[in-house]
Structure 1
Amino acid sequence: MLGAGVMGVGITALAIGRGVQVTLVDVDEERLATARKRVRHELRLAHVLGALPRHGPIGDLDLADSVDAAAGAGVVVEAITETAELKVKAQNEIAAVVAPDALRITNTSSIPVDELAGHVPRPEFLVGVHFMNPPYLIGTLEVVRGPRTGDAAMVAVRALLERLGRKAIVVNDGPGFVTSRVLHRMINDAARVVEEGRASVEDVDALMEHCIGHRTGPLKTADLIGIDNLVDSLRVLYERTGDEGCKPSGLLLRKVADGHHGRKTGRGFYEYGAL
């Protein structure tokens, strides 16, 4: 696992909670120093919520500060910032140390897989998986097959997700795939409605939840995704589609600038207690 941010820690908790051994890699010493504690917290929460078996096997967790630690891995999941250039760099570093037939997964919410595949060796072993936050609660995953993704990679990713207890829905490549292309634009519009003074945050979520059937409401969902991550994803969508509806709203941009990124910072559209 490359990346010890919110998603990397959550995916790691899911994997070790299903008995899979994980080496979690991050070059940020401060982030790596707290990674084990954060994984344990997520694992405890998953057990409390009944999202992972309490009495099943727990996979070993190792920590490393260099991608060289992935050398013997059959699967590497990259879960770093939603920036194409950084992901290309990370995927090239992974490809340089793993076996030629190792499965390489990019956890992305919006960047087309083929955009990355065009800049890395052996693109047939690169596949996108859109893990959503928190990974141990979301049982159905979007698997993105790029035009260059090979059959062997698809067999391997299905086997991995089955072992993790996840259901894979395979979609074709393109900016935002299915979930982000639909959901993130809706969240952006919900933020605009609040910004325009038409309704409060709570009322927007209540209407979408109780009238439309959205499980949590779009703005609570934004807090869960991380508003900074959401803005990054919207920028990717806007740059690649030209859809004005994907241009991040002023309210979202102000939240990011103020450090109100959602649940992970204790405040977003809502306020949260200590996590």
Structure 2
Amino acid sequence: MSDTVGGMQRAAVIGAGQMGNGIAHVFAVSGHEVTMIDVSADALARGRDTIARNLERQVKKGALDAEAAGAALARIQTATALDAVGTAQIVVEAATERTDLKFRIFEDLDRLAPEGAILASNTSSISITEIAARTTRPELVIGMHFMNPVPVMQLVEVIRGLATSDATTAQVMALSRALGKTPVEVNDFPGFVANRILMPMINEAIYCVMEGVGTPEAIDTVMKLGMNHPMGPLTLADFIGLDTCLAILEVLHDGLGDPKYRPCPLLRKYVAAGWLGRKSGRGFYQY
């Protein structure tokens, strides 16, 4: 494995939430030693439990044998301090989608990660160029935007910042393929490709609810049966988290300055009420 992926055998993942534990899972299954880092010991325990359950599910489906699943779990260490990145050859940050937080993490990673280590962010919308500018190694900073749920979804959006080198991009494209994913290289503009196209659709679906055009069920059914989407936009918004959808729309609106990205007032209202979707038990649907 280390020979095929430019020597990147040891990985660190920052964040043990939905995305972080999924990223740690795919790295471990592919033979990498992984350190999953989170400030919360509880979050780490929950993340590890989720990985164990998801590995078990893969074994039941016949996608993985029990021995390989056990070996993958054994490759995952956990830590609550960021200095655990000290031996990593690639670090993937999957913290909450907040600009100030990501900037601070990358300043610390630049200080703590080995010289020559690639620093990747799983951000779904924040500028890789701006994140890279917080470091002394902008040529080694890149976006690796995995899709949720990470063990299942094939796509990795690989985002080049202004200073990202060709060598870093080539290594991360090769690494993504070695993880069993399909990488697509894109450039650093607000929302990249995935969310620049997806979020206005979700936002428009929310306007349809607010204006009484249709119920959430009706809107989702139209998109599923009429456009062959596997999941309606409002079900998907609840799955992503309405707070995350709002944060991405704000990045698009601020970064591109076009009123078509203005977040729907009903989305703001739901987030203010704590109706964040599946994770809070209520969004456009009850869970």
Tell whether the structures are fold-level matches, with TM greater than 0.5.
yes
Structure 1, gaps ≥5 residues long: none
Which amino acid counterpart does residue 37 of structure 2 have in structure 1?
A: V
Aligned residues: 271
Aligned ranges for residues 126-141 of structure 1 at < 5 Å? 126-141=141-156
Aligned ranges for residues 72-111 of structure 1 at < 5 Å? 72-111=87-126
CA contact (8 A) 2:235 2:284 kept: yes
State the alpha-carbon separation in 2 of the partners of residues 75 and 188 from structure 1: 35
Aligned ranges for residues 1-275 of structure 1 at < 5 Å? 1-47=13-59, 52-55=63-66, 56=68, 58-59=71-72, 60-272=75-287
Which amino acid counterpart does residue 195 of structure 1 have in structure 2?
A: M
CA contact (8 A) 1:260 1:268 kept: yes
CA contact (8 A) 1:71 1:98 kept: yes
Which amino acid counterpart does residue 56 of structure 2 have in structure 1?
A: R
Bigger CA drift: 235-244 or 249-258?
249-258
| 1:45–1:79 CA distance, 2 compared to 1 (3 A) | same
Structure 2, gaps ≥5 residues long: 1-12
| 1:240–1:266 CA distance, 2 compared to 1 (3 A) | same
Aligned-residue Cα RMSD (Å) equals 1.8
Q: Give, in angstroms, the shift of residue 45 of structure 1.
A: 4.2
State the alpha-carbon separation in 2 of the partners of residues 42 and 32 from structure 1: 15
| 1:185–1:27 CA distance, 2 compared to 1 (3 A) | same
Which amino acid counterpart does residue 8 of structure 1 have in structure 2?
A: G
State the alpha-carbon separation in 1 of the partners of residues 47 and 193 from structure 2: 31
Which amino acid counterpart does residue 47 of structure 2 have in structure 1?
A: A
CA contact (8 A) 1:24 1:61 kept: yes
Q: Identity over the aligned pairs, expressed in percent?
A: 39
Q: Give, in angstroms, the shift of residue 197 of structure 1.
A: 0.7
What is the DSSP-based 3-state SS (H/G/I as helix, E as strand, rest coil) of the residue aligned with 1:31? Answer: helix
With structure 2 as the length reference, what TM-score do the two structures score? 0.88
State the alpha-carbon separation in 1 of the partners of residues 127 and 211 from structure 2: 32
